[in-house]
């Protein structure tokens, strides 16, 4: 049995890179494909980096789709903040259900580089439909944010 359902994930991470580099790593499709893939999953990305633009990440294992993310950029403040209406896709991608949530990433300059604050909330739809996936959202973000450090530092 799963424990308490997750309504929100909040985490902070510091990077030895300036806020502009960390911010850009969230918006460049080739860079996103290198780090936004938890575990042994491969990723590709399509991103239209403007307010209202699509932000899509596709995951696969051994060439077979295992889902991904479909989002719309709702806030974009260079090197300061990215806000996304975030959707979880299953293996059917846009032919299957989508579970909506909200993702906000803030970037703060610090002497050693950047402090990133990630808040992923409104996870109720995902909890209701796929509680086993929702229970691991925090672990997934921890994993990919660690990989992001390897890509940008």
Here the CATH number for the domain that contains residue 96 is 3.30.530.20
**pTM > 0.75:** yes
Domain membership flag for residue 86: yes
Q: Residue 105: give the domain boundaries.
A: 8-152
Please check whether residue 1 lies inside any domain of the structure: no
Q: pLDDT tens-digit profile of 57-90?
A: 988 888 887 778 899 999 999 999 999 999 877 6
The fraction of the chain above a pLDDT of 70, given in percent, is: 91
| CA–CA dist 66, 121 (Å, integer) | 22
Whether pLDDT at 24 is above 80 = yes
Q: Give the mean pLDDT of the chain.
A: 89
Residue 79 placed within a domain: yes
pLDDT of 106 over the 50 cut: yes
Per the structure, the count of domains in the chain is 1
Look at residue 144 and tell me whether its pLDDT is greater than 90: yes
More confident residue, 109 or 94: 109
Whether the pLDDT of residue 2 is over 50: the answer is: no
Does any domain span residue 120?
Answer: yes
Establish if 69 belongs to a structural domain. Answer: yes
| 3 within domain boundaries | no
For the chain, what percent of residues have pLDDT higher than 90? 60
* Residue 2 covered by a domain: no
């Amino acid at each position: 049995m799963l424990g308490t359902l997750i309504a929100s994930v909040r985490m902070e991470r510091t990077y030895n890179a300036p806020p502009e580099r960390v911010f850009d790593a969230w918006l460049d499709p080739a860079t996103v494909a290198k780090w936004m893939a938890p575990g042994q999953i491969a990723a590709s990305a399509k991103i239209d980096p403007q307010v209202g633009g699509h932000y899509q990440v596709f995951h696969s294992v051994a060439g077979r789709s295992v889902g991904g993310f479909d989002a719309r950029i709702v806030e974009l403040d260079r090197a300061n903040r990215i806000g996304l209406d975030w959707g979880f896709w299953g293996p059917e991608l846009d032919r299957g259900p989508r579970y909506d949530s909200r993702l906000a990433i803030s970037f703060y300059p610090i002497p050693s580089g950047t402090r990133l604050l990630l808040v992923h909330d409104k996870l109720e739809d995902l909890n209701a439909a796929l509680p086993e996936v929702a229970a691991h959202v925090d672990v997934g973000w921890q994993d990919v944010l660690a990989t992001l450090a390897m890509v940008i530092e």
